[in-house]
Structure 1
Amino acid sequence: MNIIISGKQMELTDGIKGAIEEKLGRLDFYLHPETEVKVTVSAKKARQKIEVTIIPISGPIIRAEDIEENLYAAIDIVYDKLNKQLRRYKNRLQDRHQKNQSIRFETVETPDVEVEEEDDFQITIERNKKFDMKPMSAEEAVLQMELIEHDFYMFRNIDTDEISIVYKRKTGGYGLIEHE
């Protein structure tokens, strides 16, 4: 596991880097040795924020973040979130394998560590929507999103003719998601 740690608006001490590497290092039994883990630590006033993005060799990107007054508490909370997500993902892979369904992702082995049993995680799609998408600019899409009072809006980008998504950011402003 390759951990890349960066700081925004703060200087990272060896103690902070060591705490992050030690805590996230415990997740290495879930991950391929060449998996990239990007960690960003930032500070605003008395609030410390840690964002962790795990980019596996194959499979979904896993992400967690937390904001606390104490950075070490935030590291612990992010570790717990990532551990829970990775356990769920591993359990889903094992369930598919046992049902002889195809598995797109690498198998994951569990160490000899006791893990609390979680409730069965079921994905249930409650509603399915279809709608026409007329080509529009990102600015028009934001206006449409505001009109329907949603947090995101999917549209066909008039410039690229690709499906894109605009969304409201927690910090204010808007974001745009486009296909690479």
Structure 2
Amino acid sequence: MQINVTFRHIEPSPPLRDYTEEKISRIKKYLKEPIEAHVVLKVEKFRHIAEATIDAGGSRINATEETEDMYSAIDKLADTLEGQAKKSKEKSTRHKGGNHTRSFAAPAEPAALEGHDDEEARVIRVEQVHAKPMDVDEAVMQLKLSNGEFMVFNNRDTRQVNVLYRRKDGHFGLIETLP
């Protein structure tokens, strides 16, 4: 695994480089060789930002983390990359004919699913959205004009929060909340 570390607006230090290489190299077990990682560590005012791009066996993983401490940014970056690498590996094993013996009649126990640790799922990103008041037709028009997959809005007719989303068949779906 080849790891390149670039420093921007920060003094290059061997301990920081070694720490980064150690954290990033732990995802090697989830990816196909050859693996090339490029990590950029930069400081902008009080923000410490760690960015990484990993090319491995024809797939690419990107992540960016930002904190007030460079070491914690590197830790969060490594966790994010590891999660993406695990997900990518699980997806490739499913597509290559993974475990098809499970019955679809009854759901499997969470502990019985392969590839899942006892690790809890966690929220990676939180986004606050202002639900603008509009009717459904206006929301459809707004979503058609945007590149987004969904739109949260306050329905003028029902005065409830609704979610309009793009379906794979090209149509739209509407989720209405109950009072």
Taking the TM superposition and a 5 Å limit, the aligned residue runs for 1:4-153 are 4-59=4-59, 61-98=60-97, 115-116=117-118, 150=146
Deviation at 1:151, TM superposition (A): 6.7
Q: Give the alignment's TM-score, normalised by structure 1.
A: 0.55
Cα RMSD between the aligned structures? 2.7
Deviation at 1:116, TM superposition (A): 3.3
Query: 1: distance between equivalents of 2:29 and 2:53?
Result: 17
Asked whether the equivalents of residues 2 and 33 of structure 1 are also in contact (C-alpha less than 8 Å), the reply is no
Query: 1: distance between equivalents of 2:58 and 2:3?
Result: 17
Query: 2: distance between equivalents of 1:63 and 1:44?
Result: 20
Asked whether the equivalents of residues 33 and 57 of structure 2 are also in contact (C-alpha less than 8 Å), the reply is no
Q: Which amino acid aligns with 2:76?
A: I
Corresponding residue SS for 1:98? coil
Q: Give the alignment's TM-score, normalised by structure 2.
A: 0.55
Q: What's the CA shift string for 1:2-43, capped at 9, x where partnerless?
A: 100001111221111011011111111122342110000100
Deviation at 1:57, TM superposition (A): 3.0
**Number of aligned residues:** 111
Asked whether the equivalents of residues 31 and 89 of structure 2 are also in contact (C-alpha less than 8 Å), the reply is no
Asked whether the equivalents of residues 37 and 55 of structure 1 are also in contact (C-alpha less than 8 Å), the reply is yes
Corresponding residue SS for 1:19? helix
Corresponding residue SS for 2:96? helix
Runs (4+) of structure 1 exceeding 2 A deviation are 31-34, 113-119
Q: Which amino acid aligns with 2:46?
A: A
The structure with more radius of gyration: 2
Q: Which amino acid aligns with 1:71?
A: M
Query: 2: distance between equivalents of 1:117 and 1:77?
Result: 15
What fraction of aligned residue pairs are identical, expressed as a percent?
Answer: 27
Q: Which amino acid aligns with 2:117?
A: V
Question: What runs of 5+ residues in structure 2 fail to find an aligned partner?
Answer: 100-114, 122-144, 149-179
Q: Which amino acid aligns with 1:78?
A: L
Distance 1:79 1:85, change over 3 A: same
Query: 1: distance between equivalents of 2:58 and 2:25?
Result: 19
